Amino acid sequence: MAGSRGRGRVDVASVAGALLAAGGILGGLLMEGGRIQDVSQITAAIIVFGGTLGAVMIHTPPSTLLRALRCLPQVFVAADLSLGAILDDIIGYATKARKMGLVSLESVAGSIEDPFLAKALTLAIDGTDLQELRQTMELEIAIEERWAEADARVFESAGGYAPTIGIIGAVMGLIQVMKNLANIDEVGHGIAVAFVATVYGVASANLFFLPAAGKIKAHASQEAERKEMILEGVSSIVEGLNPKIIRSKLEGYLGDRPQVRAVPEGRQRATRSAAA
């Protein structure tokens, strides 16, 4: 039986967006006669990113910070939710439970790879009251949503600190320029270099930190909907609803999602055969 998550795949939109943003900015610089070296300043990068990381570390508990860093792959890797496959599996479980009783699913519950589906189905097989089952699984969904919200806030805070620290870096650069006003030939160059820190701060906030926070929230929302679909399906099985009615209820979760793939007919036959 499936009941498993699809493998992650490259999030084309995120990668294309990052390339387009960087290409647009650097391309505009080159079109105006600038050079890449004009915005390549290691000192400015140390000030902005070191200062931003330090501010975030002060603002965020260590456990939350580490968990947020582990979420970084979500920005460029999209999980294949395979809602169509999950729906087909739930219908298979419902068909078997309707024919042979809910206890008959005990033989397949241990082989389900999706932890949420496995836990919900195991609680149902163990005879847990439907209301208690719902409360338990809904609590798990709510907790994970709060964790995702906290992870996103880490990047949001970084997006708030980076521009300000970039300004600090620019001011520090201007201080050095003012100390060398006697050499007027170096003043213009020094001012240009000083403002690179501001570019780093504003660009990192608006091209990475804030978009990353938004992507983490979007993934969390999709994951919550996936689990709500599973919970609704298991609850319907416990209620003994007709598999056709269950399918009709759960198909609303599929919508027009591009990540949902039609389950091949061969896969559908295999699921029906396992359910029988």
Length of the chain: 276
Q: So what's the pLDDT on residue 65?
A: 94
CA 85, chain centre distance (Å) = 21
Weakest mean pLDDT among 145-149, 182-186, 198-202, 262-266 = 262-266
Q: How confident is the model at residue 269 (pLDDT cuts 50, 70, 90)?
A: very low
Residue 263 has pLDDT above 90, yes or no: no
Residue 183 tokens read as 């050499």
Residue bearing the bigger pLDDT, 178 or 130: 130
Q: How confident is the model at residue 92 (pLDDT cuts 50, 70, 90)?
A: very high
Residue 261 has pLDDT above 80, yes or no: no
Q: How confident is the model at residue 32 (pLDDT cuts 50, 70, 90)?
A: confident
Q: So what's the pLDDT on residue 106?
A: 86
pLDDT digits (tens, 9 = 90+) for 145-180: 999 999 999 999 999 999 999 999 999 888 878 877
DSSP string, 5-72: PPPPEE-HHHHHHHHHHHHHHHHHHHHTT--GGGG--HHHHHHHHHHHHHHHHHHS-HHHHHHHHHTT
Residue 120 has pLDDT above 90, yes or no: yes
Residue 61 has pLDDT above 70, yes or no: yes
What is the rounded end-to-end Cα distance, in angstroms, of the chain? 12
Q: So what's the pLDDT on residue 176?
A: 78
Give the 3-state secondary structure of residue 197.
helix
Packing angle between helix 210-239 and helix 83-100, nearest 10 degrees?
20
Q: So what's the pLDDT on residue 237?
A: 92
Please, what is the average pLDDT of the chain?
Answer: 84
Weakest mean pLDDT among 109-118, 138-147, 247-256, 257-266 = 257-266
Residue 110 has pLDDT above 50, yes or no: yes
Average pLDDT over residues 222-250: 92
Q: Residue 204, Cβ neighbours under 10 Å: how many? A: 21
* Residues 93 and 108 sit within 8 Å (Cβ to Cβ): yes
* Helix or strand holding residue 77 (H, E): strand 77-78
Long-range contacts of 4-7 (CB under 8 A, 24+ apart): 4/82, 4/112, 4/113, 4/114, 5/79, 5/80, 5/81, 5/82, 5/113, 5/114, 6/79, 6/80, 6/81, 6/82, 6/85, 7/80
Residue 49 tokens read as 């990113």
Residue 274 has pLDDT above 60, yes or no: no
Residue 256 has pLDDT above 60, yes or no: no
Residue 151 tokens read as 């992870």
Average pLDDT over residues 54-60: 95
Residue 15 has pLDDT above 50, yes or no: yes
Q: So what's the pLDDT on residue 168?
A: 92
Distance in angstroms (rounded) separating the CA atoms of residues 119 and 140 = 11
Q: So what's the pLDDT on residue 73?
A: 85
CB within 8 Å of 26: residues ≥ 6 apart: 36, 39
Average pLDDT over residues 209-220: 93
Domain boundaries, the chain: 9-275
Q: How confident is the model at residue 90 (pLDDT cuts 50, 70, 90)?
A: very high
* Residues 191 and 176 sit within 8 Å (Cβ to Cβ): no
